[in-house]
Amino acid sequence: MSKMFAKKDDYRLQLKNIYAVQSGGVFMRRKVYTKDQILKAAYEVVAKEGFKGFTARNIAKKMGISTQPIYLEFKNMEDLKNTLLDSIFDQLKEEVFPVEHTGDKIIDLGLNYINFAKKHHSLYMALYIDEHGDGKKMHDFSYNYFYEAAKKDEKYSHLSDEYLDALHTGTWVVVTGLASLMSSNIMQPTEEQIISLISRTIDSVLSLENPEIIR
């Protein structure tokens, strides 16, 4: 699938007649709509309207088609939603969350999460805040990525799951709060200040004798 965060072209211009059926010596042109084209349209709807606007009718309207091609490619809207989320997760894992800033995996992940919220405010709100989204799936994805990233950093790789869980909870509260405030232009701390806040949170958690108190 092509990049989800790149600027999208007009779908009605993209969707070309790609094959012809001969009938009585006359070629009848027929449009074929691919799964990727439907996913792109679904992404644009969610990025603009959130999951409250995630309906077959809205996606079809975005593409200038009926809803029939959507149900030919996907079992139902839940199937489309899960496929869309998986595509976005892949994009976050490959292009957004791995960007290095400080060399500390947890701090860098926090910075990238906040930068994503600022740069893609509507999509961030749809994924992490929207009550019509899939909060559990987003939490599980974020936790699993955090856990794997921490295990790759020698500063954290030796820690028990109890400390990693506590680190996730502590840093999650900090970066989610900052992301929401900054993406709404309520406050704009510098990157240095953000790094300091995340770092102090990490140090506080690691100093705990019993990390389970904040799990």
User: For the segment 134-178, what is each residue's pLDDT rounded down to a tens digit?
Assistant: 778 888 999 999 999 999 999 999 999 999 999 999 999 999 999
Greater confidence (79 vs 7) lies with 79
- Per the document, the length of the chain is 215
Helix 135-151 to helix 105-119 angle (10° resolution) is 140
Which has the higher per-residue pLDDT, 133 or 146?
146
Q: How far apart are CA 28 and CA 197, in angstroms?
A: 63
Higher pLDDT, 33 or 80: 80
Residue 168, token pair as written in the block: 């996730």
User: Which residue would you say has higher pLDDT here, 209 or 149?
Assistant: 149
Helices (H) and strands (E) in the chain — how many of each?
10, 2
Give the per-residue pLDDT at 189: 95
φ, ψ of residue 56 in degrees (nearest 5): -60, -40
Cβ-count burial 171-206 (b if 16+ within 10 Å, e if not): bbebbbebbbebbeeeeeeeeeebbebbbebbeebe
CA 71 – CA 134 distance, rounded (Å): 21
d(CA 32, CA 35): 10
Measured at the CA of 211, the angle between CA 96 and CA 208, to 5 degrees, comes to 105
Angle value at C-alpha 26, between 25 and 30, nearest 5 degrees: 135
Evaluate if pTM is beyond 0.95: no
Q: What is the pLDDT of residue 119?
A: 92
Given a cut of 60, whether residue 25 has pLDDT beyond it is: no
